[in-house]
Amino acid sequence: MRPLSLDNLRTLVTVIELGGYAKAGNKLGRSQPAISLQIKKLEEQLGKALFTKQGQRHVPNQDGLFLYKKAHAMLAMNDELFNHFRETPLRGRLRLGIPSEFATTLLPGIIGEFNQLYPDVALEITSSLSRDLLSEAPVGTQSEQFDLILALLNPEQQTDGELVLEDDLVWVGSGRHSLPKNQLPLVLAPDGCVYRSRALNRLQQQKTAWRIAYTNADLYGLTAAIQQGLGVTALARTSVPKELKLIHHSSLPELGKIKICLFSQKTSHPQAAEKLAQFIKLRLQG
């Protein structure tokens, strides 16, 4: 038994929905005789008439209406499958806001692969403190500066963003320099940094003597200072650069957890933003 042609079934559905061969032909870009031939082929395959002619009109009979319902469902499934596997080329400009430490450790492994798969999507990256990224682009406003924001939040903070990972905050240092016994030297980002506020708060609770030896908003600068023995810092475990080592010492308090969240903003390129979000989540969760 020969399978029914989906093209012929689509013609049948169009004829019935539009109410005639001529209208169906106009929509499908075919002549009326071509439409008539497709219907005739269906009738010959099935051994049943599908239409009754009333004046100049072709009206579907009981068999025609039965086939219409089945054909409509078949075409819907066919179109769903086709659309699922059809990859629409992604184009446009994506603006990503990301904390500097993740721009240093996470992005290099993403940018090349993303650009190779989607060469027509231009990435514009802004790295800053999570607080500043979110305050510049509050969710739901028309003044949003980003399509996607990766940001750090304290565990108790409520958020409209998607929780990607609840990570450990850890102490890191050079591994080549021992900690002084009298006063802990700290290498930190500026005020407003989640890591800074957590580290200082926990040190104060433990009544550990400390001093800020160096401040820099950029992870490269912090890493260089730590490698020179200027002090230690706090980072999310997933953002620790390979040049630095985890530090465990009795003078260093536990720092707890940190939430890493993705905020999707209003965007002209939702598909491209979703693909980039998938890349980021896979790297952080992997």
Letter string b/e over residues 83-110, b meaning 16 or more CB atoms within 10 A of that residue's CB: eeeeeeebebebbbbbbbbbbbbbbeeb
User: How many structural domains does the chain have?
Assistant: 2
pLDDT of residue 261: 94
Q: Are residues 12 and 52 in the same domain?
A: yes
**Three-state DSSP state, 162:** strand
pLDDT in tens, 48-57: 999 998 887 8
Q: Quick check: 140 pLDDT over 60?
A: no
**Residue 11 amino acid letter:** T
- Would you state the pLDDT for residue 178? 84
User: What average pLDDT score do residues 34-44 get?
Assistant: 92
- CATH number of the domain enclosing 18: 1.10.10.10
pLDDT tens by residue, 181-224: 889 999 999 999 999 999 999 999 998 899 999 999 889 999 99
Check residue 257 and give its pLDDT: 96
User: In terms of domains, do 45 and 60 share one?
Assistant: yes
Report the share of the chain in percent with pLDDT over 90.
Answer: 52
Residues 56 and 104 in one domain: no
pTM score, whole prediction: 0.65
In a domain, 1, yes or no: no
**Judgement on whether residues 191 and 235 belong to the same structural domain of the protein:** yes
Cα–Cα distance between 65 and 16 in angstroms, integer? 8
Q: Residue 246 — very low, low, confident or very high, per pLDDT cuts 50/70/90?
A: very high
Residue 102's nearest CA partner among 133, 127, 122, 124 is 127
Final residue belonging to a domain, choices 85, 117, 133: 85
Q: Is the pLDDT confidence value at 101 over 70?
A: yes
Higher pLDDT, 172 or 138: 172
Same-domain status, 189 and 166: yes
CATH of the domain at 248: 3.40.190.290
Reported as a single tens digit per residue, the pLDDT across 156-165 is: 988 888 999 9
* Site of tokens 């900690």: 179
When the pLDDT of each residue in the chain is averaged and rounded to a whole number, the result is 88
- Full residue range of the structural domain in which residue 78 is found: 6-85
Whether residues 198 and 65 fall in one domain: no
Among the candidates 50, 85, 120, a domain finishes at 85
